[in-house]
Chains A and B, each alone.
Chain A
Amino acid sequence: MNTMKINLIVNGQSRSVEAPPGKTLLYLLRDDLDLLGTKDGCREGECGACTVLLDGEPVNACLVLAGQVDGREVVTIEGLSQNGHLHPLQRHFVEAGAVQCGFCTPGLIMSSAALLEQNPQPTEEQIRHALVGNLCRCTGYTKVFEAVQHAAEEVDRD
């Protein structure tokens, strides 16, 4: 099978991988780079569990081909904590009880991280809009919106 060499920066580190052009970023991360935080929920762009940041923008890793990320920068859920400290979004998700089974959580947090990067003080309406398509079957979303709001307040204070 023909493969191509892909050089990318993942969570701040340069990585180089050989992969067939038909592999998705989702499985480049999970199989080749051992980053299992990014989840496979549907492979159809419908659930948001595979959300990562590509050059700072949120994308569904299941809908991006590996070849498209050559020379670009990817941040996954594993890249949010710093020096062993959870990102405020991660901490507030835990504290607010916004995590139940946890399958949707990496995706929700990455979408929220993208939002706070562009809009540090979102309204609840803006939080809801940013999380459209990040499906959660457990929490009912209320705690999720709360967690993002709390994280925004903390990030904004810093």
Chain B
Amino acid sequence: MRTLTPFSILAPTTLQDSFQHIEEHGWNAALYAGGTELLLTMRSGLASFPYLIDIKKIPQFDEISFNKDEGMLTIGAGATHRSIETSPLVLEQLPLLAEVESMVANIRVRTVGTIGGNLCFADPHSDPATLFMAWAGTTFELVSSAGVRQIAPDEFFVDLFTTARAENELMSKIHLPILGKRMGGAYKKFVTLERPTANVAAFLGLANGKIDSARIAVGSVGPIPVRAIDAEGTLLGGFPDEKLFERAAETAAEATDPVDDVYGSKEYKKQIVRVLTRRALKQAATRADRSQ
């Protein structure tokens, strides 16, 4: 198929206009950001829409800003992976985010694909979704004609390709707190196909040589990224050493319930999760130790 099923493109230039289009057309319209997921879905015949609402012309929709007093970096949902990866503000305030964004897909997909499109599509094989699940204090901002609400990642991701976003809501922003002193984060992924086979994000905080905060999220091996709560528990109060990391990694891997699919067998994925978790914890600890 060289041309998709016919549709019209609406291109609102204000948030108000986009709400109006959304309300008028409901599920007959799809929000269209980079289109790197949407067009594939339409091409494969899984979905078709008489209207696409191109949201890229909404002012400030791709803006990246930093509030120093609150220590919050805010990323417009329309920002492309590439613009986040190369943003001087992101590189300075949250280098981990730039690092993760530089690992998404390939440069052509990153140039077009947006962070909001990634999160709202809720593909189980997402890099940023796993990162944000582990990142304490992250919120997604959803807007509609009814107002604005903030939602945490663990409430936002509901199931495979399913989020808590209501039909009339648009994701507008992602708020990320910068990491405190003696805090470090790391992200590891393993890829054989285009999208990650497994990915792990870990954050550790240190106090008096011991671990006083730990967050781990494991993604791509289940319908949505999940926190490895038991593994986090094994770390608290311990000394950041290889043996402890290995034990936590084992616990994190055991807690997953991967399916056998084209990405690999259940056992294979568990093994990958174990290795990635150990490596992520080790790097997070080194970074925490260096951050004064």
Contacts and interface: CB of A to CB of B under 8 A. Distances in A.
Contacts of B106: 48, 132-134
A67 B56 CA distance: 13
B9 interface: yes
Interface of B: 2-9, 34-36, 39-40, 43, 52, 54, 82, 102, 105-109, 111-112, 194
Nearest to A23: B3
A121 B66 CA distance: 32
A27 B108 contact: no
B9 A59 contact: no
Given A45-B108, A133-B106, A64 B35 contact: yes
A1 interface: yes
Top-7 shortest CB links A-B: A133-B106, A22-B4, A132-B106, A27-B2, A60-B108, A57-B111, A23-B3
B108 to A, nearest CB: 5
Contacts of A129: 102, 107
Given A44-B40, A63-B35, A58 B5 contact: no
Given A45-B108, A64-B112, A2 B43 contact: no
A130 interface: yes
A31 interface: yes
Contacts of B36: 45, 63
Contacts of B9: 21, 65, 67
A64 B43 CA distance: 13
Contact of B109 (A23, A31, A43, A60): A60
A24 interface: yes
